[in-house]
Amino acid sequence: MSPSGWCLASGFDPLYKGWDGETLLYDQFSGDTHVVDDLCMAIIELLAKGCLSEEQILKKIVQYIDVDPGIDFDPVVQQRLAALVKLNILQCPT
Amino acid sequence: MPHVTPLNSLSFARFSSQLAGAGVAFSVGPFVVSLKSSITSVAEGVYQLYGEYPLIAGGADRFVDYYLALEQSQGLRRWHRPQVKFSYDGLHPFKPLPLNQALPLFEWGLNWCVASQMHSYLLIHAAVIERNGVAIILPAPPGSGKSTLCAGLVSRGWRLFSDEMAIISMADGQVVPCPRPIGLKNESIQIMRDYEPQAVISRASLDTIKGTVALMKAPSDSIRRAAETARVGGIIFPRYQTNAEALMTVRSKAQTGLYLADNSFNYSVTGARGFNMLAEVVDGAACLEFTYSRLDDAVRIFDALEWSA
Amino acid sequence: MMARPLLSEVLINPDRVTGLSLQQWDLLIRQARHADLLARLAYLLAGHNDLPEPAQSHLDSAWAFAQRQAQSVRYEVANIKKALSDLDIPVVLLKGAAYVMAGLPAAPGRLLSDIDILVPKQRMEAVENALLLYGWRTTHHDEYDQKYYRQWMHEIPPMKHGVRGAVIDVHHAILPPTARLKPDSSKMLATAVALAGQMEICTFTPVDMILHSATHLFHEGELEHGLRDLVDLDALLRHFGTQNGFWEQLIERAVTLDLTRPLYYALRYTAQMVATPIPSFAVKAVARLGRPPAALLWLMDFLFERALRPDHVSCDDRYTALARWMLYIRSHYLRMPFHLLFPHLIRKAFKSHKGSTSLAEPTVAKE
Amino acid sequence: MNDDRGPSQDDAESKSVSNVTDEGQTVNQSRRKLTTAGLIAVPLIMTLSSKSALGMNYRCTVSGMLSGNLSHPGEIGDCMGRTPGFWSGGNFFSGGNPKTYTGGWPAPLLPTTPFHTSFGGVFEGNTFIHFVNNQSTSYTLEEVMRLNGTHDHYQLGAHTVAALLNAKAAELGVNPFGGGREFGLTPNQVITLYNTYSASKPIELKTLFEIWNQVNATTRLSYQTAISQFGITIPNP
Are C164 and D193 an interchain contact pair (Cβ–Cβ within 8 Å)? no
> Please, are residues C139 and C119 in contact by the beta-carbon 8 Å criterion?
no
pLDDT, chain C, mean? 89
Cα separation, B260 vs C154, whole angstroms: 43
Q: Report DSSP state, residue B26.
A: E
Q: Please indicate whether, in this complex, the C-beta atoms of B90 and C313 are within 8 angstroms of each other.
A: yes
Residues 54-113 of B with CB under 8 A from C: 59-65, 67, 89-91, 95
Query: What CA–CA distance (Å, rounded) separates C206 from C250?
Result: 9
Is the Cβ of D70 closer than 8 Å to some Cβ of chain B?
Answer: yes
Q: How far apart are CA C248 and CA C312, in angstroms?
A: 37
Taking only the tens place, the pLDDT of each residue in C185-214 is 999 999 999 998 777 899 999 999 999 999
Q: Is the dihedral of CA D52, D57, D63, D64 positive or negative?
A: negative
Query: Does C274 score more than 90 pLDDT?
Result: yes
Question: Which residue in B has a C-alpha nearest to residue D63's C-alpha?
Answer: B265
> Are the C-beta atoms of residues C11 and C37 closer than 8 Å to each other?
yes
User: How far apart, in whole angstroms, are the C-alpha atoms of residue D26 and residue D38?
Assistant: 18
The torsion angle over the Cα atoms of residues C183, C187, C188 and C190, rounded to 10 degrees, is: 160
Q: What average pLDDT values come out for chain D (237 residues) when binned by 10 residues?
A: 33 31 36 52 75 64 47 48 76 44 73 66 41 57 76 80 88 68 84 86 88 62 29 29
CA C15 to chain centre: 27
**B261 and A CB contact within 8 Å:** yes
Which residues from chain B sit within 8 angstroms of residue C312, using beta carbons? 89-90
The verdict on ipTM greater than 0.95 is: no
Q: Indicate the range of C47-56, C166-175, D173-182 predicted with least confidence.
A: D173-182
Q: Is C139 near chain D, with CB under 8 Å?
A: yes
Spatial CB neighbours of B29, under 8 Å, sequence gap ≥ 6: B162, B167, B176, B177, B178, B179, B180, B226
Asked if A28 lies within 8 A of B272 by C-beta distance, the reply is yes
Contacts of A among chains (3+ CB pairs under 8 A): B, C, D
Report, in angstroms and rounded to the nearest whole number, the Rg of chain D calculated over CA atoms.
23
β pairing state of B83-88 and B66-72? antiparallel
Residue C198: count of CB within 10 angstroms of its CB: 15
CA D170 to chain centre: 16
Compare CB distances from B268 to A18, A22, A31 and report the shortest one's residue: A31
Tell me the C-alpha distance between C160 and C267, whole Å. Answer: 35
- Residue D210 has a pLDDT of 87
Residue D36 has what pLDDT?
46
Of all residues in chain D, the one with the smallest CA distance to A63 is D31
* Predicted confidence (pLDDT) per residue in C55-89, tens digit: 999 999 999 999 999 999 999 999 999 999 999 89
Say whether C54 and B65 touch across the interface (CB within 8 A).
Answer: yes
Cβ–Cβ of D227/A83 closer than 8 Å?
A: yes
Question: Which of A16, A36, A84 shows the shortest C-beta gap to D44?
Answer: A36
How far does the CA of residue B55 sit from the closest CA of chain C (Å)? 16
Question: Are residues D12 and B272 in contact, defined by beta-carbon separation less than 8 angstroms?
Answer: no
**Which chain D residue is nearest to residue B89, measuring alpha carbons?**
D59
- Taking residue C205's Cβ as centre, other Cβ atoms within 10 Å add up to 16
| Interface residue A44 vs chain D (CB under 8 A) | no
Q: Flag whether pLDDT at C261 surpasses 50.
A: yes
Output the tens digit of pLDDT for each of chain B's 309 residues: 456 899 999 999 999 999 999 999 999 999 999 999 999 999 999 999 999 999 999 899 999 999 999 999 876 666 678 899 999 999 888 888 889 889 989 998 999 899 888 999 999 999 999 999 999 999 977 778 888 999 999 999 999 999 999 999 999 999 999 999 999 988 889 999 999 999 999 988 876 566 788 999 999 999 999 999 999 999 999 998 889 889 999 999 999 999 999 888 899 889 999 999 999 999 999 999 999 999 999 999 998 887 644
Pairing of strands B286-292, C115-118: unpaired
Distance from CA of C184 to the nearest CA of D (A): 30
Contact criterion met (CB < 8 Å) for D197 and C133: yes
Residue C340 has what pLDDT?
Answer: 67
Residue B201 pLDDT: 93
* Pairing, β C91-94 against β C115-118: antiparallel
Which residues of chain A make contact with B281, given a CB cutoff of 8 A?
none
In degrees to the nearest 10, what's the CA dihedral of A76, B255, B270, D65?
A: 120
pLDDT number for residue D103: 62
Q: What distance, in Å, lies between the first and last C-alpha atoms of chain D?
A: 39
Q: Taking CB atoms and an 8 Å limit, are A38 and D49 in contact across chains?
A: no
CB distance A11–C72 less than 8 Å?
A: no
Q: Are the CB atoms for B234 and B307 separated by under 8 Å?
A: yes
Is the pLDDT at C293 greater than 80, yes or no?
yes
CA dist C220 and C116 (Å) reads: 14
Helices (H) and strands (E) in chain C, counts: 16, 7
pTM of the model: 0.87
Out of D21, D36, D227, closest to residue A20 by CB: D21
Contact between residue B188 and residue B169 where contact means Cβ atoms under 8 Å apart = no
Phi, psi of C256, rounded to the nearest 5 degrees: -55, -40
CB contact (8 A) between residue B258 and residue A19: no
Cβ of residue A78 closer than 8 Å to a chain D Cβ: no
Q: Quick one: pLDDT at residue C292?
A: 95
Residue C220 and residue C357: Cα distance in Å, rounded? 19
- Is the separation of the CB atoms in A83 and D230 below 8 Å? yes
Residues in B closer than 8 angstroms to C57, CB to CB, are 118, 120
Note whether D48 contacts A32, CB cutoff 8 Å: yes
pLDDT confidence bin for C231, thresholds 50/70/90: very high
Which tens digits make up the pLDDT trace of A23-70?
999 999 999 999 998 889 999 999 999 999 999 998 888 777 777 666
Contact B60 C30 (CB under 8 A): no
Strands (E), B132-200: 134-139, 159-162, 165-169, 182-185
Is residue B284 within 8 Å of residue B232, measured between CB atoms?
yes
Q: Do D66 and B112 touch (CB under 8 A)?
A: yes
Nearest CA-CA distance, residue C165 and chain D, Å: 6
What's the half-sphere exposure (Cβ side, CA atoms, 13 Å) at B276? Answer: 22
Q: Which residues of D touch A33 (CB under 8 A)?
A: 47-48, 50
Q: Within an 8 Å CB–CB cutoff, is residue C71 touching chain A?
A: yes
Coil/strand/helix, residue A18: strand
Identity of residue C237: L
User: Quick check: C112 and D53 in contact, CB under 8 A?
Assistant: no
Interchain contact A11–C (C-beta under 8 A) = yes
Q: Which residues, 6+ apart, have CB-to-CB distance to A53 below 8 Å?
A: A4, A5, A6, A93
Are C18 and C44 a contacting pair, CB within 8 Å?
Answer: no
With a cut of 90, say whether residue A3 has pLDDT above it.
no
